[in-house]
Amino acid sequence: MHLKIAVLPGDYIGPEVMAAALPVLEAVLKKSGHTLEHSTHDVGGAGIDNHGKALPDSTLEACRAADAILFGSVGGPKWEKLPPAEQPERASLLPLRKHFTLYANVRPGLLLKNLIDTSPIRPDRIPNGVDMVCIRELTGGLYFGPKSTKEIEGGDIEAIDTMVYRKSEIERITDVAIVTARARRKHITLVDKANVLQTSVLWRKVVADRIKATAPDITLAVMYIDNAAMQLVLKPSQFDVLLTENMFGDILSDEMAVICGSLGMMASASLGANRNRHGLGYGLYEPSGGTAPDIAGQDKANPCAQILSAALMLRHSFGLEAEAKAIELAVEKTIAEGIRTADIAGGGKAVGTKAMGAAILARL
Ligand code: NAD
């Protein structure tokens, strides 16, 4: 198979972790006889600095021509003074999600047994680690609804964000959760705020109807967001597939990440309706964390989330399950041998980004 991907490293730690991920990707494909064609493009702050906008036309064109996007992360203090609409994340990542209709964000939350000591949760509460997946709706809700800020009577200022959801949007993300749950423990927990929000009332009805009509083999539980935030910490093992709207998913998936050891371990896949040249899902694959400006340029970032994002890309956009698994096992083996970056070293001896990447590559 010939894989054509657009590589968008982004800002701060983005290029550092991408530099660790690409050799792993190249090696696993070479070993299995596939060919990789990749080109690297500016995005986010790098796009602003080098092309005058966060999502340069040439970058978007390269993404259109590719089978999948491997993304780093964007943004940081350097561009924080720009008007909100021009800031890296809002002006590159959100338009990319919208442009390619990437409505489903799939974030595996896997706490490896060898990392139980790095979780803030007491080990006796998670004797078997954690294994769940968060399915977050990604192109609707508050982040994309009509917004405004205006001066009102009395010199006061009013800002409005609007949460909008359609039945069709909820149905298509429910279908992603059903497929995900079928490959796992067949249990979906819908997280909402149906006691207060109209959109949540619609979510509850549509999700329940969809599962009843198309997936009677799947069990459904519903939970308010405030309770879910608490339950995640109290008893994460009760969750198999978490299904939720955009903002709740944004928050809960970071909570899930830290329960699973570190943001530096969490990969994500953003999938949509488009197919690539191989007839498989076109997707954008990125670490769940941001650009970590506090540790950028110091060879401290954990490259695992970026490397595991490449594995998700092989699985979802190219159907290369064995190759994806090989990368995941190499990460697991490296960690099991005690080779860890500072975020997962628990105060013990830590290696840098480059050494971590090299260790994973060596164990492929
Ligand atoms: P962050 O995720 O960058 O950092 C939060 C904490 O997690 C920091 O202490 C950081 O050092 C740590 N961390 C994150 N990734 C790590 C890794 N790979 N290895 C080790 N530690 C890691 O979140 P933030 O500080 O809120 O945001 C920083 C910038 O990133 C902001 O400009 C924000 O807008 C941007 N951001 C971008 C994305 C994206 O591109 N998808 C997502 C979130 C935040």
Ligand 1 pocket mutation pick from 263, 298, 307 by most atoms within 8 angstroms of CB: 263
Residues above pLDDT 70, as percent of the chain: 100
Nearest to 113 by CA among 96, 95, 126: 126
The whole-number average pLDDT for the span 165-185 is 96
pLDDT tens column, 344-355: 998 889 999 999
Burial label, 183 (beta-carbon count in 10 A; 0-12, 13-18, 19+): exposed
pLDDT tens column, 60-99: 999 999 999 999 999 999 999 999 999 999 999 989 998 9
| 74 CA to centre of ligand 1 in angstroms | 9
pLDDT tens column, 26-43: 999 999 999 999 999 999
Determine which residue's CA is closest to atom 41 belonging to ligand 1: 73
| 73 CA to centre of ligand 1 in angstroms | 8
pTM: 0.91
Amino acid in the structure at residue 357: G
Determine which residue's CA is closest to atom 37 belonging to ligand 1: 290
Residue 147 clears pLDDT 90, i.e. is over it: yes
Higher pLDDT, 330 or 258: 330
pLDDT tens column, 177-199: 999 999 999 999 999 999 999 99
Count Cα atoms within 13 angstroms, Cβ side, for 151. 2
CB neighbourhood size of 117 (10 A): 10
Determine which residue's CA is closest to atom 11 belonging to ligand 1: 292
Q: How confident is the model at residue 245 (pLDDT cuts 50, 70, 90)?
A: very high
Determine which residue's CA is closest to atom 43 belonging to ligand 1: 290
Render 184-246 in DSSP notation, one character per residue: TT-EEEEEE-TTT-HHHHHHHHHHHHHHHHH-TTSEEEEEEHHHHHHHHHH-GGG-SEEEE-H
Domains of the chain listed by start with CATH number: 1-102+264-364 (3.40.718.10), 120-259 (3.40.718.10)
The whole-number average pLDDT for the span 280-287 is 96
The whole-number average pLDDT for the span 288-303 is 96
Residue 127 clears pLDDT 90, i.e. is over it: no
Ligand 1 pocket mutation pick from 16, 79, 89, 255 by most atoms within 8 angstroms of CB: 89
Q: Which atom of ligand 1 is nearest the CA belonging to 73? A: 40
Ligand 1 pocket mutation pick from 291, 307, 360 by most atoms within 8 angstroms of CB: 291
- State residue 115's pLDDT score: 85
Q: How far apart are CA 235 and CA 132, in angstroms?
A: 12
- Enumerate residues 6+ apart whose C-beta is below 8 A from 154: none
Q: How far apart are CA 260 and CA 343, in angstroms?
A: 12
| 291 CA to centre of ligand 1 in angstroms | 4
Residues above pLDDT 90, as percent of the chain: 90
Four-CA torsion 180, 184, 187, 189, nearest 10 degrees: -50
Residues labelled as active-site residues: 143, 193, 226, 250, 254
Burial of 301-316, coded b for 16+ CB within 10 Å and e otherwise, reads bbbbbbbbbbbbbbbb
Residues lining ligand 1, Cβ inside 6 A:
13, 17, 73-76, 89, 93, 263-264, 286-287, 289-295, 301-302, 305, 343
CB neighbourhood size of 331 (10 A): 24
Q: How confident is the model at residue 262 (pLDDT cuts 50, 70, 90)?
A: confident
| 204 CA to centre of ligand 1 in angstroms | 32
Determine which residue's CA is closest to atom 38 belonging to ligand 1: 290
In Å, how far from its chain's centre is CA 36?
A: 23
| 114 CA to centre of ligand 1 in angstroms | 24
Determine which residue's CA is closest to atom 17 belonging to ligand 1: 264
- State residue 117's pLDDT score: 83
Q: How confident is the model at residue 128 (pLDDT cuts 50, 70, 90)?
A: confident
| 216 CA to centre of ligand 1 in angstroms | 39
